Amino acid sequence: MTIAQRLAGRTAIVTGAGAGIGRAIAVRLSQEGAFVACLDIDPAAAAATVALLAVPGVAATCNVADEASVAAAVATVVEARGRVDVLVNNAGIAGPQEPALSTPLDGWQHTLAVNLTGTFLMSRACLPALIEAEGAIVNVASALALVGWTDECAYGPGKAGVVQLTKGMAMDYAGRIRVNCVCPGAVRTPMLESTLPPSADVEATFAEYGKIHPLHQRLAWPEEIADVVLFLSSDDASLITGAALLADAGFTAG
């Protein structure tokens, strides 16, 4: 097997695969030989990602915050492929950009439902197949799981929960699967752009925002996060489980 075939013959599920980091992950895993099931709440977006894959994959509609939707999507993949080797829990939302005092309860609950409960539901649904395959889970958390940030009352705590869920599952299933998460800094995605006010100069704002990263003084690209996810998904990371791997260009180092 060459380095370009690290996931040949394996089946991967990527949630939130319709855009941004999720799309980049799906494309990258496919380039390494994986059959990728692209799950997204937007079926057209998921199908658009499938059209980009190097290895023919499949699109499935899935609301990760809904138990029945998760069960149906995972069952479809398992029935079609007979296995799941890699689960990438990437689906997430920005949530209210507010401090605690002005964060509405429904905004708090919805953010945690997607970002944290969705990761739990997908992991639980895939665990039997992952254990059988001796596979891997990679959760997409955030550098904001580890540091405080203004106007992120719901997002940061939800991602911190993802880090702890990662560590707990890594201990529970050690010796059977590996469970890790990646903690990106600020990544140029449609989700990040959605947090800007309508009047914002996107390019100027992103150029300034990128300065939070000491390493390159710019925002990260989704493809850079996809490379980290590929590593954690592959046998190259055979000794790594329970890790929260920072991919934040030095943001949290200071």
Active site residues: 155
The per-residue b/e assignment along 143-154, b for 16 or more CB within 10 angstroms, e otherwise, is: bbbbeeeeebbb
Nearest alpha carbon to residue 98 among 143, 149, 161, 142? 149
In the chain, the amino acid numbered 141 is A
Looking at the chain, which runs of residues are DSSP E strands? Answer: 11-15, 35-40, 58-61, 86-89, 136-140, 178-184, 244-247
**CA-CA distance, 105 to 82, in Å (whole number)?**
40
**CA-CA distance, 71 to 69, in Å (whole number)?**
6
Rg (CA), the chain: 17
